[in-house]
Amino acid sequence: MTKLLEWWSQTLQFYEQQYQKRMAIIYSIVSQFFFTAMFTCVSMLKGEYSSLQIVNMRMITGFIFNTAFCHINKIPTYTKEASTLRLLSIRGILGGLGMTCIFTCITLMSVSDGVVMVNTNPIWTNFLAFFFLGEHLSKKTLGLCLISFIGIVLVSRPASIFGEIHNSHNEAKNQLLGTIFGLVGSLIVSLVSIVVRKLSHQLKCNGAMHMQYNYFISSFFTAILVLNDAERPFIFTFKFLYLNVLLSFCGFIGQLLIFKAFTLEKASIISPMQYLQVVLSFLLDIFVLKNSVSITSIAGAALIILGSVGIIM
């Protein structure tokens, strides 16, 4: 088994050296299939379990996967440097909060609408860079952000504009609430990307080290919240176990692949690839989950992708 893993690792390294850009794009595309599978598992658990329960088990299982990966590849996962430890802890806390918001969004909306919401982070990144780094916001960027905002309104379909388009008030309320959680989760992802950028480029931390702190810290604080949730007692079932193992594995592999893609190629080339996930989620809703897809959701997704890709490029 060890020899097989070594052969596989050497083969990938060879292709990465010979075809760097091509391998980066392949890694990015494949990662979107894994992320879509992860969100599908979350959607299959909604109604039976809270997003906190799903996130907690996902982080515990992810910690096990990451520990095994680091042990096999002899990657150090902990640091004694105070400044690095502080940033890794911040990354862990933000990662757990972001994942909780994103999973909550997926449990309140269809997979396709939820995925659209959580992929609005290019919009947030520009505003964060303006406020915290003093970077200039061009008229082009503001115009593209406005286009994306119109797309967000079309996907969220607030009752004050579109009226009660669902059969029940709760469904309409969940659509709007899911949008809020998705946007907050996307904002946190943008903050995480800034922290990760500093850890990777300035402090030279391995991606597996980021994830080890993310899994450990998130497992700890979500466990506290789950144990204090008397209204939603945790009931362990075989369905919960295998879906959580599957979603954790898919999320873990997806993160490894996308991190590798960003190390091989420029962000301007890799970042637009994440919108393949939007297309996959719509196909999943239509052909697998048999959910009805609104025309406004499709139009909104198109505007959000247009605005976000324009900002990235």
Beta bridge partners of 49: 46
Percentage above 90 pLDDT, the chain: 29
What is the predicted pLDDT for the residue at 2? 66
The dihedral of CA 197, 199, 204, 208: what is its sign? negative
Give the HSE-up count for residue 52: Cα atoms under 13 Å, Cβ half-sphere.
15
Window from 32-41, 62-71, 230-239 with minimum mean pLDDT: 230-239
Residue 38 has pLDDT above 90, yes or no: yes
What is the average per-residue pLDDT within 196-214? Answer: 78
What is the predicted pLDDT for the residue at 268? 66
What is the predicted pLDDT for the residue at 101? 94
Residue 168 banded pLDDT, cuts 50, 70, 90? very low
Which are the contacts of 82, defined by CB distance < 8 A and separation ≥ 6?
none
What is the average per-residue pLDDT within 102-130? Answer: 86
Q: Are 176 and 43 in contact (CB under 8 A)?
A: no
What is the average per-residue pLDDT within 234-249? Answer: 91
**Per residue in 88-123, is it b (16+ CB within 10 Å) or e — as a string?**
bebbbbbbbbbbbbbbbbbbbbbbbbbbbbbbbbbb
Closest CA to 196 of 274, 98, 309: 98
Residue 294 banded pLDDT, cuts 50, 70, 90? confident
Beta bridge partners of 46: 49
Residue 176 banded pLDDT, cuts 50, 70, 90? confident
Residue 161 has pLDDT above 70, yes or no: no
Residue 160 has pLDDT above 90, yes or no: no
Residue 231 has pLDDT above 80, yes or no: no
From the number of C-beta atoms within 10 Å of its C-beta (0-12, 13-18, 19+), residue 67 rates as middle
> pTM for the whole thing?
0.86
Which are the contacts of 244, defined by CB distance < 8 A and separation ≥ 6?
41, 45, 54, 57, 58, 61
What is the predicted pLDDT for the residue at 167? 46
Distance CA 38, CA 44 (A): 10
In the chain, where the domains are located: 29-312
What is the average per-residue pLDDT within 194-222? Answer: 81
Residue 42 banded pLDDT, cuts 50, 70, 90? very high
- Three state DSSP letters for 212-274: HHHHHHHHHHHHHHHHCCCCCCCCCCHHHHHHHHHHHHHHHHHHHHHHHHHHHCCHHHHHHHH
What is the rounded average pLDDT for all residues in the chain? 84
pLDDT in tens, 252-292: 999 889 888 877 887 667 777 888 899 999 999 888 888 88
CB atoms within 10 A of CB 246: 16
What is the predicted pLDDT for the residue at 171? 47
Residue 170 banded pLDDT, cuts 50, 70, 90? very low
Residue 57 banded pLDDT, cuts 50, 70, 90? very high
